[in-house]
Amino acid sequence: MKNYLNIFSRAVTAATLQAQAIPNTVPNSAGGYAFAIDDWARLDRFLILGSEGGSYYAGERVLTRENAAAVLRAIQADGTRAVARIVEISAGGRAPKNDPALFALALAASAADLATRRAALAALPKVARTGTHLFQFAEFVQGTRGWGRALRRAVGTWYLAQPLDRLAYQLVKYRQRGGWSHRDLLRLAHPESAEPERAALLDWVCRATETEALPPLVKAAVALGRTREADEAATLIRAENLPREAVPTELLNDPAVWAALLERMPLTALVRSLAKLTSVGVVKPFSDALPLVLSALGDADRIASARLHPLSILLALRTYAGSG
């Protein structure tokens, strides 16, 4: 009996070299052995950490392939459960980036099982919450399946189901990303609305048609795009809470414009813009803007509502520290 314990016991296991296998372990990327995790744990890990940049022991290409295979196995085992987990982690703000959730949702939307595809497409507005998210999803899904009727309908619903003021903001702020634009998606989806303002808004995106039925925010954005006067730009920004993306490039170094943008700037945009706000002189010691920034960054409820991940704050801090 003692001979057996010399070979296999807790004490011996603790002293086992990394390159030597112990029971219930599998080879890992470090050249040693580790305890295996199931595909559901692997799904969670991918949704939260992604595979961008790889890891210390595995390159991005290898890690992405391994994670994608695990995600596909989870989807095949229980597609609706996988979709629910994607929504839970994405909507809960548990990941610093939403790209893994969008990629996993695109895989689910391409599944062989009809119920899984329907669940994935129904979840699209919960995971693709901004225009940029929608463009990313379109790129992912195009690489995994064709543009069938159900996918077109789901994308069309994204434009038809949102409150009009929120949709107008999305169309003004996120006009194009990664080779996709709202015009591209609208021409694929062909959504039709009986609401005059929504129909006018979609027509403006596709044909640049300007009518009185356009929402006030879009009218202000059109006027802002044509002005070259900082004071006029600041007035338009304050009137309709226009985002930075609507500001003409030549006005993006003007302090008056940035002061107007700061007043109601979303928290994520604020964190990303701290270096610029400082460089143009809006944020500085004893300035009127400083208490506004400090109050926003110290508001726990606002941080949670914005789904601002701690890693995003750390990255912004390091960027800000290196900009001075």
pLDDT averaged over the chain? 87
Weakest-pLDDT range from 56-70, 92-106, 143-157? 56-70
Q: Is the pLDDT of residue 138 over 70?
A: yes
Q: Which residue has the tokens 């599944």?
A: 111
- Per residue in 82-136, pLDDT tens? 999 999 999 999 998 999 999 999 999 999 999 999 999 999 999 999 999 999 9
Query: The tokens of 92 are what?
Result: 């809960």
- Across the strands, what pairs with 226? none
Residue 307 Ramachandran class (φ > 0 left, ψ -120 to 50 alpha, else beta): left
Per-domain residue ranges of the chain: 14-127, 265-324
Contact 268, 308 (CB under 8 A): yes
d(CA 58, CA 56): 6
d(CA 74, CA 90): 17
Query: Among candidates 89, 103, 161, 165, which has minimal Cα distance to 136?
Result: 103
- Per residue in 167-219, pLDDT tens? 999 999 999 998 999 999 999 999 999 999 999 999 999 999 999 999 999 99
Q: Which residue has the tokens 């509502």?
A: 305
User: What's the rounded mean pLDDT across residues 137-146?
Assistant: 91
User: What's the rounded mean pLDDT across residues 296-308?
Assistant: 85
3-state secondary structure of 33: strand
Mind spelling out the 3-state secondary structure of 50-74?
CCCCCCCCCCHHHHHHHHHHHHHHH
Q: Is the pLDDT of residue 262 over 80?
A: yes
d(CA 83, CA 117): 9
- Across the strands, what pairs with 203? none
Q: Is the pLDDT of residue 16 over 80?
A: no
